[in-house]
Chains A and B, each alone.
Chain A
Amino acid sequence: MNVAGSPRFADTLLRGAVLALFVVSLGLLGAVVLVRGTMPAAYTDIGNATQLVASGAAAATAAWSYYRRGPDMLLVHGAFAAGTWTLANAFWYAYFILIGEGLNYPTVADLGFAGVFLFLIAGLQEGLARNRLSVLAAVPIALPLLGAGLGLVAVLGANAKTLTTLVVFTLSAALLSSALLRSAHRHPVLFAATVVFSLTHILNSLDSTLPDPPWVTNAAGALAAISFSLFAIAYLRHAGGEPA
């Protein structure tokens, strides 16, 4: 389906909205850097809401762009990825509100987050052409991440938390490697979104695994919102024929 001749005001409106979300998300990240410690409850509420709105916006943007511009694998997988992340985070947040405590790690929400990685990897593989780089070019990305994941298992012991973190590190390595081998750097916003998304989940898993996590892991929520704002912008650019 291609209805490119339809009014463009929706695109403009969406771009404005996701740019505003991006700015708010940057503000949240700035707050973490300024406080450098335990964040107040109000920050958590605002952060969780912003993440949900940003991921929902990314899903809607990808779906809308697919509807307007026609079949595109990057957009389909992007819509599935952002939609699944929204569901997983909505579950996590609802649990936090209703039960009054954080979910144990790992749990069903982490399964959802793992599914998002796979959708994003499939989106890159289906939506962008493979470049001429050898697979070995991904080794400098994959090796440190896998090494760090295995190192955590060795130091803290093999348990559900460390093994889940190893899975997250492995999925991050696979996602970043796919981005490299599919020349995602030619799509700067998409590349930035992919890197920030991986960083989000690396920090989140460290926050849940390390006995005394550093303050920087508090940035995971803000980074999630930033990554989905960037994904939304990338999908709009991609649908408009610009490099994503």
Chain B
Amino acid sequence: MILEFYLAASLPLFFLLVFLEGGQRRVLAFLVWGLTAGVISYYVNYHLYLALAASTLLPEVTMAPVVEEFMKALPLFVLLLVFGRRYSKELLVLAMASGFGFAILENYVFVTHFALEGAGAIAYAVMRGVTTSVMHGCMTAIIGFGIFLTYGFSRRSLPSILFGLYTVAVMIHALYNLLVGHTGVGRLLAIDLPLLLFVLLLVAYNWDVLFPKPAEAGE
């Protein structure tokens, strides 16, 4: 059903893309890519789970973050490495849109998988909406914002920076998946982590507004 949901969700958005321009089109395009990344990651993870079923690995902790973070951030890598395109801090928003697109599809998979009903289903959906979904958005946003921050660096070190930022996202994602699967303080920390990261990214994105330079503040 996941492919059907993906097609039903993304095809109307393609029609909307025709009417949009500039920044709006880019944000929606990244959201649609996030949905696409969700489908691709689902099938890749599924086959990896089957291949590693007999091993002692925990695929959701050790494999899924590697696949998912790569798929979500792929357009960022392509834009920079292939086309050499440069964006402003808008890159954070675009990256976050990709992460949220991914989360929409993943939420559909989990909500239908557990087949909950009534208040339990609503509570589960809300919980995923404010934790795992935000985590997916923030992880890709970290890569996008990191790329923006390193614009001044030489092109030679760009591959290192991209890979490094990717590993940062994978590490936090893996730590989140590990902690959220357990009880106690670790789980509480994992639940709070996405919202904390979201606030930090929000502050970083609006840094110039929150802390204007003296000349700007005097105007």
Given known A95-B61, A104-B56, contact A115–B175 (CB-CB < 8 A): no
Instruction: Say yes or no: A84-B179 contact (C-beta < 8 A), given A104-B56, A107-B62, A126-B153.
Output: no
Contact of A91 among B150, B153, B163, B178 (CB under 8 A): B178
Taken together as a complex, chains A and B put the C-alpha atoms of A22 and B44 apart, in Å, by 44
- B57 neighbours in A (Cβ, 8 Å): 104, 107
A125 near B157: Cβ-Cβ < 8 Å:
yes
**What sequence of 0s and 1s flags, for each residue 56-75 of chain B, a beta carbon within 8 Å of any chain A beta carbon?**
11100111011000000000
Q: How far is the CA of A206 from the CA of B183 in the complex (A)?
A: 34
Number of interface residues of B (CB under 8 A): 32
Which residues of the partner chain A approach B178 to less than 8 Å between Cβ atoms?
91, 94-95, 98
* Number of interchain pairs (Cβ within 8 Å): 89
Is B154 touching A115 in the complex (CB atoms < 8 A)?
Answer: no
Pick from B58, B65, B186: contact of A94, CB under 8 Å: B186
Partner of A87, one of B63, B159, B166, B168: B168
Q: Determine the distance from Cα of A115 to Cα of B168 in the docked complex, in whole angstroms.
A: 8
Q: How many residues of A contact B (CB 8 A)?
A: 33
- Residues of chain B whose beta carbon lies under 8 Å from any beta carbon of chain A: 55-58, 61-63, 65-66, 150, 152-154, 156-157, 159-161, 163-164, 166-168, 170-172, 174-175, 178-179, 182, 186
Q: Which residues of B contact A71 (CB under 8 A)?
A: 152
Q: Is the CB–CB distance between A108 and B186 below 8 Å?
A: no
Indicate whether A122 sits within 8 Å of B167 (C-beta atoms), given known contacts A94-B178, A94-B179, A108-B62.
no
Q: How far is the CA of A162 from the CA of B172 in the complex (A)?
A: 26
